[in-house]
Amino acid sequence: MSEVTKLPNGFYPEIPMEKKMELIKAYVSLGNMRLASEMVGINYETARYWRKTKDWWPKLMEEAKQEQRQELQGRLGKITETALSIMEDRLKNGEYILNIKTGDIIRKPVGLRDANQAANNLMTQATKLEEMNSKSHTVDESTAEVLKQLANEFAKFAKKKVNTEIVDVEVKEI
């Protein structure tokens, strides 16, 4: 893509927000501002300037990261679902093997060791997920507690009266 060029008056044209968001998404994906700016067609120095000075940059960065996380979670969910379906099929119906004598492909029941290992792995992952969920609830609750304590302290501070006694002082030259 070609870079944005200067107008005859020496100014750059206003770059639409969609183009800025495209730059940020490229930067989040690539992790390199120079590559992202070249890919999108925005001057590298302009992109660096925006990143360091513009108020909208952190907001759009967070949106881009959140979008990328959601996309990744969706893809991982599909992969996990496929893997679990295959595991379930193999555990129920057995592994595919070649019968050397007949040349046929048959299904041999899964061995106890393999079934036990699969079950242990799944239970370990389920336990980790439960721990992660309980930690996030604990963090939310502890944050709420801290905020309540701060609110109470601020209320006490606001109610506190400050004694200000005015003292008249005479100035004498020595």
Domain range enclosing 82: 1-110
| Residue 173 maps to a domain | no
Displacement of CA 124 from its chain's centroid (Å): 24
Task: Record the pTM.
Answer: 0.51
Q: What is the pLDDT of residue 1?
A: 46
Same structural domain, 91 and 126: no
| CB-CB neighbours of 142 under 10 Å | 10
| Residue 74 maps to a domain | yes
Same structural domain, 132 and 51: no
Dump pLDDT digits (tens) for 116-131.
998 888 899 888 888 8
Task: Show Cβ contacts of residue 108 under 8 Å, excluding neighbours closer than 6 positions.
Answer: 94, 95, 97
Q: What is the pLDDT of residue 2?
A: 47
Dump pLDDT digits (tens) for 51-86.
998 888 999 999 999 999 999 999 988 998 998 899
